[in-house]
């Protein structure tokens, strides 16, 4: 009869019996390494809590996040029925923060699906093709890197128009160049290996080599970079919301909530401070998670520090 101990020994073996066994063993060893990092686990716990809050936001929110009560405006922290107080329109701040987690995850998910994929495609094509293709693609990448991300995002949003979808697109257009640089560097190392030469001799074309054999080897570095970049993406989205170019009222986007609360920052500081603390907490969680994943997926980087 199989026991947890025998399963653990099976996963920790140095002689896997199949490709799937090797994958499971590698994943389990990586999880053990990640689990030994308490700060990374703390960051993972915060993000799991954020995901659960977003999923059950209608149930967890004590009030309707849109409900206005001008007779109950700017109530302080600890007010009965309004733990985090109310804003200038009498709306419950806690309920709006809970609803805002959905917007934060929506932005993070879309940017994480668009920017790394675009960067991976550009970087691997440039690194594998070389020559004028590499020069053209990398000079385009350099142009994007020459501008601060938020300034470039502001320019794109100004051209596309205000709105959360346009903000996501603008952030994605400014976030892909670092991924392209990483993917190109990885590809330049991989393309001259004996492994790729053998595949080329077997008749594999450039497209198949890039998709099937180079992309999988670049994924781990990109995952680490994506996780570490999430804090900057959240801050960029909050910055656009603060300037009125991201999610539009009455959407409870955290940056827009800070923008509204800045008018009362001296007398009613909690209106802007609570969404600010939410942004800080989630950004910190992604940074801690990224550090932990870097140690697991790229141990040579951690050893060099």
In a domain, 64, yes or no: yes
**What integer is the mean pLDDT of 182-203?**
85
Tally of domains within the chain: 1
In a domain, 36, yes or no: no
In a domain, 115, yes or no: yes
From CA 11, how far away is CA 23, in angstroms rounded?
A: 9
Which class for 205: exposed (0-12), middle (13-18), buried (19 or more C-beta within 10 A)?
Answer: exposed
In a domain, 284, yes or no: yes
- How many other CB atoms are found less than 10 A from the CB of residue 224? 22
- The answer, yes or no, to whether residue 302 has pLDDT greater than 50, is no
In a domain, 12, yes or no: no
In a domain, 41, yes or no: no
Phi, then psi, of 20 in degrees rounded to 5: -65, -40
Rounded to two decimals, what is the model's pTM? 0.83
121-130, 137-146, 230-239, 278-287: segment of lowest average pLDDT: 230-239
In a domain, 119, yes or no: yes
Domain extent, residue 102, equals: 49-304
Whole-number Cα distances in Å, 128 to 104, 152, 170, 191, 214: 36, 29, 28, 6, 9
Q: How confident is the model over 66-87, as pLDDT tens digits?
A: 888 888 888 888 888 889 989 8
- The answer, yes or no, to whether residue 124 has pLDDT greater than 50, is yes
Looking at residue 93, which CATH number applies to its domain? 1.10.3720.10
- The answer, yes or no, to whether residue 278 has pLDDT greater than 90, is yes
Report the percentage of the chain scoring pLDDT > 70.
96
Q: How confident is the model over 5-48, as pLDDT tens digits?
A: 777 777 777 777 777 887 788 888 888 888 888 999 999 999 99
Q: Which residues contact 292 (CB under 8 A, 6 or more apart)?
A: 34, 37, 39, 40, 41, 43, 44
DSSP state of 264: G
From CA 294, how far away is CA 305, in angstroms rounded?
A: 12
In a domain, 171, yes or no: yes
**Do 89 and 77 touch, CB atoms closer than 8 A?**
no
Per-residue confidence band for 54, with pLDDT thresholds at 50, 70 and 90: very high
């Amino acid at each position: 009869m199989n026991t947890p101990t025998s399963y653990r020994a099976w996963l920790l073996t140095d002689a896997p019996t199949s490709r799937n066994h090797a994958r499971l063993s590698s994943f389990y060893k990586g999880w053990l390494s990640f689990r030994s990092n308490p700060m990374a686990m703390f960051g993972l716990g915060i993000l799991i809590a954020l995901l659960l809050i977003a999923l059950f936001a209608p149930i967890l929110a004590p009030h309707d996040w849109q409900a206005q009560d001008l007779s109950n405006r700017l109530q302080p922290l600890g007010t009965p029925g309004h733990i985090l107080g109310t804003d200038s329109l009498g709306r419950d701040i806690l309920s709006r923060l809970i609803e805002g987690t959905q917007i934060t995850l929506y932005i993070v998910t879309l940017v994480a699906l668009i920017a790394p994929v675009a960067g991976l495609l550009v970087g691997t094509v440039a690194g594998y093709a070389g020559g004028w293709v590499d020069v053209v693609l990398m000079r385009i990448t350099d142009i994007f890197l020459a501008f601060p991300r938020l300034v470039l995002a502001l320019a794109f949003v100004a051209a596309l128009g205000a709105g959360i979808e346009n903000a996501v697109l603008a952030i994605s257009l400014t976030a892909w160049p670092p991924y392209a640089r990483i993917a190109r560097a990885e590809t330049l190392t991989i393309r001259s290996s004996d492994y790729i030469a053998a595949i080329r001799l077997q008749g594999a074309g450039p497209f198949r080599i890039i998709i099937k054999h180079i992309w999988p080897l670049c994924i781990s570095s990109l995952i680490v970079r994506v996780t570490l970049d999430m804090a900057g993406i959240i801050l960029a989205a909050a910055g656009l919301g603060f300037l009125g170019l991201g999610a539009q009222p009455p959407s409870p986007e955290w940056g827009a909530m800070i923008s509204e609360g800045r008018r009362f920052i001296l007398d009613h500081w909690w209106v802007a401070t609570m969404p600010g603390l939410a942004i800080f907490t989630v950004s910190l969680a992604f940074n801690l998670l990224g550090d932990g994943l870097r140690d697991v997926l790229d141990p040579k980087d951690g050893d060099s520090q």
